Amino acid sequence: MKIEREDIKVLYSLDEIREAARKLGKEITNFYKDKTDIIHTVCILKGAIHFFTELVLNIDLDVVYSFVHVTSYSGTDSTGRIRVKSWLDEDLEDKYLLIVEDVIDTGLTLRYLMKYLKKYRPRDIRIAALAEKTAHDHGIDADFVAFELQDQFLLGYGLDYDERFRNLPFLGYLDK
């Protein structure tokens, strides 16, 4: 499939995304404020990087940053296989973890991560996502979600098509 920039329609503008991140940051702060003053975040690279950055700037607690690079997509489809390109190397035992994901779609990546992160024996694991596709029964209970969507292929604001279009300053979609 050949995709050009003009094929991508704006779903949410940068201002709308920033406002959603501001609201989620406040919600996350309120959720954790009576539990801890430090949360350990895990950004799922590469797609969540812009949302992660915007979100943590709006959390009024100490935030420790961690990153994992995990992928399961090729083009517009999930391959059904998880490829881990980089993993955590710090102690997470008894810590409050917040996983930050771009889009919860099939749930494959998050189920994989949750299984392995539980081995580190954190005190608590929560999930924040830029978007959740409600058309799928992905089996993930997300705690903090900016946008709920149907089944659209998303691009921009960190999300890609074969590594292209990540730097678009909006969350867009393709008309199928």
Q: pLDDT band for position 165 (50/70/90)? A: very high
73 CB contacts (<8 Å, ≥6 apart)?
Answer: 79
Token readout for 143 is 């705690």
Query: Phi first, then psi: what are they for 74, rounded to 5°?
Result: -140, 120
DSSP 56-115: HTT--SEEEEEEEEEEEEETTEEEEEEEEEE---S--TT-EEEEEEEEESSSHHHHHHHH
Instruction: Give percent of the chain with pLDDT exceeding 70.
Output: 90
Q: Are strands 77-86 and 96-104 parallel, antiparallel or unpaired?
A: unpaired
State the total domains in the chain.
1
Mean pLDDT of 89-104: 93
The residue among 84 and 85 whose pLDDT is bigger is 84
**Res 86: pLDDT:** 60
Token readout for 46 is 């590469």
169 CB contacts (<8 Å, ≥6 apart)?
Answer: 14, 156, 157
Other CB atoms within 10 A of residue 1 CB: 9
Lowest average pLDDT, out of 13-17, 49-53, 59-63, 89-93, goes to 89-93
pLDDT of residue 85 exceeding 90:
no
pLDDT of residue 176 exceeding 90:
no
Say which residue the tokens 């292929």 belong to.
Answer: 153
Give the CATH number of the domain where residue 97 resides.
3.40.50.2020
- Please write the tens of the pLDDT for every residue from 37-51: 999 999 999 999 999
DSSP element (H, E) containing 50: helix 49-56
The CA-atom distances, in angstroms, between 170 and each of 6, 17, 98, 155 are 13, 8, 24, 8
Q: Which domain holds residue 122?
A: 5-174
Is 105 annotated as catalytic?
yes
The residue among 17 and 105 whose pLDDT is bigger is 17
**Res 88: pLDDT:** 76
Taking Cα atoms as reference points, which of 176, 137, 138, 129 lies closest to residue 157?
Answer: 129
| Summary count for the chain: helices (H), strands (E) | 3, 9
The residue among 99 and 105 whose pLDDT is bigger is 99
Q: pLDDT band for position 128 (50/70/90)? A: very high
- What's the whole-model pTM score? 0.89
**Res 80: pLDDT:** 63
Question: Of 77, 89, 94, 105, which one is the catalytic site residue?
Answer: 105
